[in-house]
Structure 1
Amino acid sequence: MTIRLVAPALLLLLLTSGPEVHAQPLVPSKDATVAPYLLPDAPTFDQTIPQFRTRYNLSNPSLPIGEFRAVDTGEPAGPLTRAASRINAQLYASTALERGTGKIKTMQLTYQPQVGDPETGARRAQAIQYMAALLRHFIPSLSEEQSSKKITELLDIGKRQGFYQQTEGALRYVVADNGEKGITFAVEPIKLTLSEP
């Protein structure tokens, strides 16, 4: 079973080009399981990208996320708008938004190490700091230490399994580890259902 969150090559192309890029769609192939946020009735967070960035950047001034640019997939307009933000040469934030409301369906961070980079250790540590900050954004009760520990645990399991998802309360955490090609960490809302009597 393969689930592609955000194609790292697409992000690299997007973020080194102008505001709009024609690229392959981010939808998984026919033989892959559809990512939950792509389903028609997938829930959204109750915030748009401008709201997210304002709150996130106020809480994390040393780990800012810049403006997001729309990703033009070259496909007819569907129920989602995709956007991405380049944080640095190896770290990107991306999202899928509900068309019309602009509410967030998934928030993802992708770290792509560069072969031969002498700063790989420091860049990976910074990527983990961003992932922990993203986790704290959606779970403000977590301390820096708790969020760092949680991210480290999730990434360790993701490294062993390649793809891992965990549900906690109203959130789903997703880790896609493609080894040297990069790691994606995502936070997504889930639908809560009332138990039947």
Structure 2
Amino acid sequence: MSRCLDSGSWAILLFFFSCLSFRRTIVAATTEATEAGSCHNLRLGQYLCQDAKIDDVTQEAENCRDASARVECLPAPNVTCRLSNGTEFRFSGKEVGFHKSIPCRNVSGYSYKVAVALSLFLGWLGADRFYLGYPALGVLKFCTVGFCGIGTLVDFILIAMQTVGPSDGSDYIVDYYGARLNRLSIGEHTYRKPHLAL
């Protein structure tokens, strides 16, 4: 005897086949991820990188060299990948699998707070320019009493916006978790939304 399936039976069958398809997808993804690939090529979510250790003096990562620092990354549990020496290893989630470079700023001892304070209170004497390593401009501001006030105001704005920095090309020391200014620039990879004609 054959019976027609009612809507509830169809729903159960559909649910069963979707679960079976989902399981095949998960198994395929796990197999693909754990097939002896390099640990550096793991996908996002298959590893967790540790936070960088921040130096109290420089407010940057302790191992910051040439605008990059290295952090330890731990592959997820049950992920198998090749280490840098070529051996395959199955991770439990507590071992370091590889190191990843993160961006950092090169600082050499010039504090942003000190530069802004000097510019605000003693800028008319050129103290801000002396502090940042521009002695000729410091003497010029001192001799002209801050270019009659306008130069002092312009310098304060330039230092506060971090347009003028230390003379050695380094960055200011700014609190790591504080308010930092990031310059955004437009390049060849910038998407420009077209304007609609009215």
Q: If each structure's strand is expressed as a fraction of its own residues, which one has the higher value? A: 1
Q: Please give the TM-score of this superposition, normalised by the length of structure 2.
A: 0.24
Greater relative contact order (CA < 8 Å, ≥ 6 in sequence) = 1
Q: Please give the TM-score of this superposition, normalised by the length of structure 1.
A: 0.24
Larger Rg: 2
Q: If each structure's helix is expressed as a fraction of its own residues, which one has the higher value? A: 2
